[in-house]
A and B are shown apart, each in its own frame.
Chain A
Amino acid sequence: EVQLVESGGGLVQPGRSLKLSCAASGFTFSNYGMHWIRQAPTKGLEWVASISPSGGSTYYRDSVKGRFTISRDNAKSTLYLQMDSLRSEDTATYYCATPNYPGVSADWFAYWGQGTLVTVSS
């Protein structure tokens, strides 16, 4: 059974940093592109960042470029999101997600974690 378990969320002041983790199990992690998607309170879903199976390629939405860094440790089957210079508009539940097929791209997201809440506020 595929499982994705996020951690690391919490309350942080504007301008500070936070690092999220997503522990994966039930599939060959190193074969799958991984993705972070967020959802602001009572709002819709927004793709944040993606990383290729090897970790050699990364992609970001414009509003987080230069502030967020996606990375992975295939030996630990863990995905990360380093978030620096946080802003109030980054407040959201952050989900890690992956499609049900190997490779870099993601057309659809078949597996989602339960999410971790990040609140940016003074």
Chain B
Amino acid sequence: DTVLTQSPALAVSPGERVTISCKASESVSTRMHWYQQKPGQQPKLLIYKASNLASGVPARFSGSGSGTDFTLTIDPVEADDTATYFCQQSWNGPNTFGAGTKLELK
């Protein structure tokens, strides 16, 4: 299965720009998607196919990348963005998810 590697945690101040990375063990073309999960809640789709903003998601969120390296950017970060962010690939075999990056605000 394709392994997705994410940094475990990040801490940023409100108003800053943050990039969250996801590296795939093999190419996933642009079939990378991003989710936000707040404690006690289900995941919420943010970005699909690497760079497409899901319906209702603020334009502060954006995604980029192809092949094995992908980035989710939040600019500017707001207090409500405190959450864990997961990447997911759908190009190779079974869908797989990254372990998540926990975003904390200073």
Residues of A near any B CB (own CB < 8 A): 43-47, 59, 61, 95, 100, 105-110, 112-115
Q: Which 4 A-B pairs have the closest CB atoms?
A: A112-B42, A45-B97, A108-B33, A107-B90
1/0 per residue, CB under 8 A from A, across B43-77: the answer is 11100110000110000000000000000000000
For B100, list chain A residues within 8 Å (CB): 44-45
Q: Is the interface of B mostly helix, strand, loop or mixed?
A: loop
Asked whether A108 lies within 8 Å of B97 as measured between CB atoms, the reply is: no
**Inside 8 A of B94's CB, which chain A residues have their CB?**
47, 59, 61
Q: Give the interface of B toward A (CB within 8 A).
A: 31, 33, 35, 41-45, 48-49, 54-55, 86, 88, 90, 94-100
| Chain A interface mostly | loop
